[in-house]
Structures are given as C-alpha cells and as structure tokens.
Amino acid sequence: MQDENKYFKVISLLLQYPDEAYFGILPELKSVVEDMKPGQFRVSIEQFLTDLESCNALQVQERYTSLFDMSPSTTLNMTYHLWGDGEKRARLLTRLQQEYACAGLEKNSPELPDFLPLILEFLAAVPKAKRFDTIQKSLEGIDTLVARLKPIAAPYARLLEPLAGMFNEKAEERTAAAVK
C-alpha cells in the first residue's frame, strides 16, 4: 500500500470517535506509520500521535466531542463547510452515496456520506477516487476546516494539512484546465 493510501487509512481511523477500540488500535497504527517513508504524511501522523499520548482518554474524548459533534464550524461533514444544509449539499450527498455503491464500498456507519473518515476510507480503498469530481468537490471545504481547527485544535489541523495541500493542488489544476 502506498504511503498516500496508508495516510488516508490511518487518518480515517484517527478521526473516529476515540472510544476504547480507538485506543486499542493505536499501537498498530504506530507500526503502520513507522513503515511509511519520511515526509509530510508521516510527520503529520507522528505529531498527532505524540499529542494523543500527552492526554488521557477522557480529555481526548471531550476534545473530539466539542470539536466535531458540538460545533458546526468544525464538523467532519465536509459538504457542510461548502453549503450548510442546502439542496446543493443534498445532491452531492446522493452522488457520493452512489459513488460508494458503484465502487462496492459498504457503508456500515450511520454517518452521512460526506463524513471525512468515510471519504478517507473510500480513498484508501479506491485510489483512483482522488480523481472523482464528487470526492474533489466534497473536499473543497478542507481548507476551511483546517483554518478553523488551527487556533483551537492544532494537532487535528496538522493532521489534515497534507490532505488540504493535496486537494488544493487538484482544485488549482481543475481551475487552470477550465480557464484554458
């Protein structure tokens, strides 16, 4: 598995609610990260894991809940950052669900299809999905999320910065192609 796909898989797991199972898989995730090449993906995850180790489970759970469950401005539902709860969002959610079904991804979660860990799981399982318009459009709000997380939850912001950089490049490429 390429480092990029490992990054998608690992951060999809690190962005889940930090329950007992979450803390149980951390040693395995560390092992996966140690096998990654040095670079931004690896560094972002290592920094995040170091931050996790400095907190107890209750602190991590409280931080997660306050950031991602109680605050719409930092929700992990990515299309919300683009459109709030509107028709455009509903159409893209439907298209995302169709993309997952066509690729054979079984959604075993009660989360909406634009839930960032679910998108990342899809990217890890279907590497060509990075080029899908629905995925690219869904992740256009990642910059907004990272910017909002920086002052209040820097470890999460650092974890997501390589992803934001990757999809900014894709957005710039699409814009340049549209101008030509």
User: What is the 8-class DSSP label of residue 37?
Assistant: P
- What are the boundaries of each domain within the chain? 3-179
Whole-number Å distance between alpha carbons of 16 and 31: 19
Question: What's domain 3-179's architecture?
Answer: Orthogonal Bundle (1.10)
- Find how far residue 8's CA is from the centre of its chain: 7
Listed residue (65, 30, 70) closest to 48, CA to CA: 30
State the pLDDT at residue 106: 78
State the pLDDT at residue 174: 47
Whole-number Å distance between alpha carbons of 136 and 168: 9
Tell me the per-residue pLDDT of 128-143, one tens digit each, with 9 for 90 and over.
898 899 999 999 999 9
In the numeric block, which tokens belong to residue 132?
Answer: 């899908």
Query: Can you list the residues of the chain whose pLDDT is less than 50?
Result: 174-176, 178-179
State the pLDDT at residue 178: 47
State the pLDDT at residue 180: 55
State the pLDDT at residue 105: 82
